[in-house]
Amino acid sequence: MAGVSHSQQSSVKVKVRQPKPRTIVLCFDGTANEFCDRAGIGTYFQPGAVSPLLRTVARVLDQAFAWHLPVHIMDGYTFLMQNYLEGDKVCFFGFSRGAYTARALAGMLHKVGLLSKDNFEQIPFAYKLYKSSSDKNNKLAVRFKKAYSRDVPIDFLGVWDTVASTGILKSRTLPFVGTNDTIRIFRQALSLDERRAKFLPNSYHRPVTDLGPQSLQTLPPLRRFIANAKFISKGRKRIRDTPNTARQNNESNERVREVWFAGSHSDVGGGHSDDTELYMLSNISLRWMIREIMKTESPVQFDDTAFEQWKTTFERAPLAREESDATLNNDDPPPGNLKVTSLDEGDVVTIREASTLGKSSITLARTPSLPPPTFIKRSLDDCDAVEKMGDALRSNIFWWLLEIIPTYYEWQDENGKWIGEWSIRLGRGRKLPTRPVFHESVRTRMNDPLLNYSPRARYEEKSEIYED
């Protein structure tokens, strides 16, 4: 058999099939949140390796000092390093400190890039370059990124109520948490009724060349304290408690959106109500976030089975009143129980979807023995909007200890200038920016005569904008 010549061999081309781009989704939960209270979940100890008491103490200390924040960030970074391929879409989601972690990870990717696979030894050094704001390390980070790393844009970053302080007693400030132009879509759901001193919101703000107090983090502790005092005295203009946000005048609404929702921190991000409850305030922000994912054509895909189960649960209709002489209008509060002994053809309980999610319109018809049918049309958001609300300052007196201790807070004013000050909170509500955007469900709750609800946040009335 004649052999294949060298010239014939060289003409053979092997076509390498490029892998299909994927969507990588990383989710970061809040501090001390666990799934079904399983032993070992949410900790860095193996079950049985240490006593439950020690695990509890370690968890409390982590909540107080944010010791494990760098670990969370580097864990997410490591996962991406091992799994990301060019062309993949990356999406982050987070709640509370988990929201801060997601935004910090996006900041780390922006500043130092993503190392090549299996480059584990370089990750601690990459994080060190990221967290430092010194001129020397900033220049070194540019060289490091160019030599060793890949650019990884974030397609969608969705967060619930990022807190400005990542530890109860000690705050941490990391670069590019507040703003990051490598994020294609940024969405945040914020709480109108959270008032704890260490749960002030961390909103999106515009970049500035003067980092203000953030650059002071590179000074020794004593000099930092003196510099902070000087900065406060020069920068304060009798503005108290203004959040660290600049209005989005120069930001496209398509890229950055932050919407305020009724409820406390855990009402907006989830965790206050039991998962077995049908209606709860946290459903509203969850549906809003999913709608934003779909509206912006982000590549996140949902498991069909789980999604249908979730959607079916939320499509259960509130039951109509059983009094035959009752007059039901569209503005009525959610009706009570209805006892139906039989249903004839024509008796209808239907659910009509007005859009993909969250705008289901519910139509209930009475039995033939009752007067002519009066229809009730209520969206699912309307049903959730009137549910109970939590308040950690009432349920746990421990938080009041921090209300009487002076705390330091940094924010950006309308011009993007950094300002900082010490203050004693005493349970005051959050101070909102000019013309805040409220979700439409807030107005629904405010209009309910039984609740007599008014947001705890402080803002100029009639200046708010309502959006779905």
Flag whether 377 is in a domain.
no
Closest CA to 97 of 30, 143, 3: 30
Element (H, E) at 284: helix 282-295
90: which strand partners?
A: 24
Flag whether 317 is in a domain.
no
What pLDDT is recorded for position 277?
82
* Residue that wins the pLDDT comparison between 352 and 457: 457
What pLDDT is recorded for position 115?
97
What pLDDT is recorded for position 393?
84
DSSP states along 386-440: TS----HHHH-GGGHHHHSS-EEEEEE-TTS-EEEEEE--TTPPPBP-SS-EEEH
Which two structure tokens, joined as six digits, stand for 401? 């200890």
Report the SS3 class of residue 257. strand
Phi, psi at 231, each rounded to 5°: -65, -40
* End-to-end CA, the chain: 75
Q: 117-131, 323-337, 411-425: which has the minimum mean pLDDT?
A: 323-337
* Residue that wins the pLDDT comparison between 360 and 402: 402
Buried b (16+ CB within 10 A) or exposed e, 316-349: ebbbbbeeeeeebeeeeebbeeeeeeeeeeeeee
CA-CA-CA-CA torsion sign (331, 391, 30, 191): positive
| Rounded distance between C-alpha atoms, residue 158 and residue 285, angstroms | 11
For helices 97-112 and 69-83, give the axis angle rounded to 10 degrees.
50
Which burial class, exposed, middle or buried, applies to 133 when counting CB atoms under 10 A from its CB (0-12, 13-18, 19+)? middle
| Rounded distance between C-alpha atoms, residue 318 and residue 324, angstroms | 17
What pLDDT is recorded for position 457?
92
The pLDDT tens digits for 92-106 are: 999 998 999 999 999
pLDDT over 60 at 228, yes or no: no
pTM (2 decimals)?
A: 0.72
pLDDT over 60 at 215, yes or no: no
Which two structure tokens, joined as six digits, stand for 286? 């969850």
Flag whether 380 is in a domain.
no
* Residue that wins the pLDDT comparison between 189 and 350: 189
Q: Which domain holds residue 110?
A: 23-272+389-467
| Rounded distance between C-alpha atoms, residue 468 and residue 464, angstroms | 13
- For residue 163, the 8-state DSSP code is B
pLDDT over 60 at 39, yes or no: no
CA-CA-CA-CA torsion sign (431, 435, 437, 439): positive
What pLDDT is recorded for position 50?
52
pLDDT over 80 at 230, yes or no: no
Domain count, the chain: 1
Phi, psi at 191, each rounded to 5°: -90, 130
Please give the share of the chain, as a percent, with pLDDT higher than 90: 36
What pLDDT is recorded for position 310?
63
| Rounded distance between C-alpha atoms, residue 112 and residue 151, angstroms | 9
What pLDDT is recorded for position 349?
35
The pLDDT tens digits for 102-152 are: 999 999 999 999 999 999 999 999 999 999 888 999 999 999 999 999 999
Confidence of residue 293 (pLDDT cuts 50, 70, 90): very high
What pLDDT is recorded for position 201?
87
Report the SS3 class of residue 187. strand
Flag whether 126 is in a domain.
yes
* Residue that wins the pLDDT comparison between 31 and 370: 31
Element (H, E) at 270: none
Phi, psi at 437, each rounded to 5°: -100, 115
pLDDT over 90 at 40, yes or no: no
CA-CA-CA-CA torsion sign (412, 414, 415, 419): negative
Q: Among the ranges 245-259, 310-324, 428-442, which has the highest mean pLDDT value?
A: 428-442
pLDDT over 60 at 424, yes or no: yes
Flag whether 351 is in a domain.
no
Asked if residue 230 lies in contact with residue 205, where contact means CB atoms within 8 angstroms, the answer is no
* Residue that wins the pLDDT comparison between 348 and 461: 461
What pLDDT is recorded for position 289?
94
pLDDT over 70 at 10, yes or no: no
Buried b (16+ CB within 10 A) or exposed e, 199-231: bbbbbbbbebeeebbbbbbeeeeeeeeeebeeb
pLDDT over 80 at 20, yes or no: yes
What pLDDT is recorded for position 415?
59
Mean predicted lDDT score pLDDT of the chain:
73
- CA distances to 201, 257, 419, 453, 463 from 434, rounded to whole Å, are 15, 15, 17, 21, 7
Q: 34-38, 250-254, 407-411, 427-431: which has the minimum mean pLDDT?
A: 34-38
Flag whether 12 is in a domain.
no
Which two structure tokens, joined as six digits, stand for 188? 């945040």
Q: 170-179, 269-278, 316-325: which has the minimum mean pLDDT?
A: 316-325
* Residue that wins the pLDDT comparison between 217 and 185: 185
Confidence of residue 8 (pLDDT cuts 50, 70, 90): low
pLDDT over 60 at 75, yes or no: yes
Flag whether 339 is in a domain.
no
Phi, psi at 167, each rounded to 5°: -150, 150
Average pLDDT estimate for 402-426: 71
What pLDDT is recorded for position 177?
85
* Residue that wins the pLDDT comparison between 8 and 276: 276
pLDDT over 90 at 257, yes or no: yes
Closest CA to 356 of 299, 307, 303, 305: 307
Question: Which amino acid makes up residue 309?
Answer: Q
What pLDDT is recorded for position 375?
45
pLDDT over 60 at 22, yes or no: yes
CA 15 to chain centre: 43
Flag whether 279 is in a domain.
no
